[in-house]
Amino acid sequence: MNAGRDPIVRFDNVGLRYGTDREVLSDLNFALLPDSFYFLTGPSGAGKTSLLRLLYLAQKPSRGIISMFGENAGLLPRKALPPLRRRIGVVFQDFRLIDHLSVFDNVALPLRIGRIAEEELRESVSDMLDWVGLGHRAEAHPAVLSGGEQQRVAIARAVIARPEVLVADEPTGNVDPAMGRKLIRLFEALNRLGTTVVVATHDRTLQKEVSVAHMMKLDRGRLTIAEPAA
C-alpha cells in the first residue's frame, strides 16, 4: 500500500543512554511508513517507553539521527520543535491529564495550543467525547474519573487534532476488553484517514485485532520489525 513512499519517521543508528549507564536502546535502524499501523511489543524494561519518548520528541538520542517528517530533529532549533510536536498525538502511559482542567478542556488542549477558534473546536471536542463515551462527563475533572475514563480522555486528547503520527503507550491498559477493542477501532479509523499509528502494548488479543499492523519487537534495547501477517 505504501511501498516506495518516503518514511514519515526514520531512525539511523540511534542509541540512547541515561547518564553514564549502558545504552537502553542500541543501533536502532528503522523507518515508519505513512498510513501504517505498528504494534510495539517487548518485555518490561525492554525500552518501549524510551523509544516512544524519542518518537514524540521528548528525548534526544545519545547518538544517531532521528528524522521526523523529512527533517533531522537533532539539528532543528528549539523553536522549530513545537510545530513538529503538534503533528504527533501522544497517549502517555500515566495519562498526564491536567488536573485543574475539565475533561472538555483537557481534550481541547491540543486544538487551543494550535490556536483553533473556540466555536470551531467545540463541536469536534463534544463529538470526540461522545465517541469515547464521556460526553456526559465533559465538565468533570480528572480527579473524579476512574482509571479507564482517564485513559479515554487521554486518548481523545491525543487524537482530537488528527495527528499525522499517533504514539500510544499501553493505551488500553486500564479499560475493559470491549472498550479496548473500541479504542483500537478508533486507532484503525485514524490510520485509514492517513495517521501513522504506533501502539505499545502487551495485549496479544489486541495485536490480533489489526491485521494490517507491523510488529515491532524490542528486546534488550534492540529492535526487529515484522511485516503484517495479512
Residue closer to another protein, measured from CB, 46 or 158: 158
In angstroms, what is the minimal distance from the CB of 210 to another protein?
25
In angstroms, what is the minimal distance from the CB of 108 to another protein?
7
Residue closer to another protein, measured from CB, 125 or 218: 125
In angstroms, what is the minimal distance from the CB of 73 to another protein?
10
In angstroms, what is the minimal distance from the CB of 207 to another protein?
26
In angstroms, what is the minimal distance from the CB of 118 to another protein?
6
Residues that bind another protein (CB under 8 A): 56-60, 78-79, 81-88, 90, 96, 98, 100-101, 105, 108-118, 157
Query: Are 97 and 44 spatial neighbours (Cβ–Cβ below 8 Å)?
Result: no
How many whole angstroms separate alpha carbon 44 and alpha carbon 112? 35
Residue closer to another protein, measured from CB, 101 or 212: 101
Question: In this structure, what C-alpha cell is assigned to residue 59?
Answer: 528525548
Residue closer to another protein, measured from CB, 58 or 189: 58
Q: Which spans in 37-145 are helix H?
A: 48-55, 81-85, 103-113, 118-131
Question: In this structure, what C-alpha cell is assigned to residue 221?
Answer: 534495547
Residue closer to another protein, measured from CB, 41 or 151: 151
88-91 vs 165-169, strand pairing mode: parallel
Three-state SS string over 44-106 comes to CCCCHHHHHHHHCCCCCCCEEEEEECCEEHHHCCHHHHHHHHCCEEEECCCCCCCCCCCHHHH
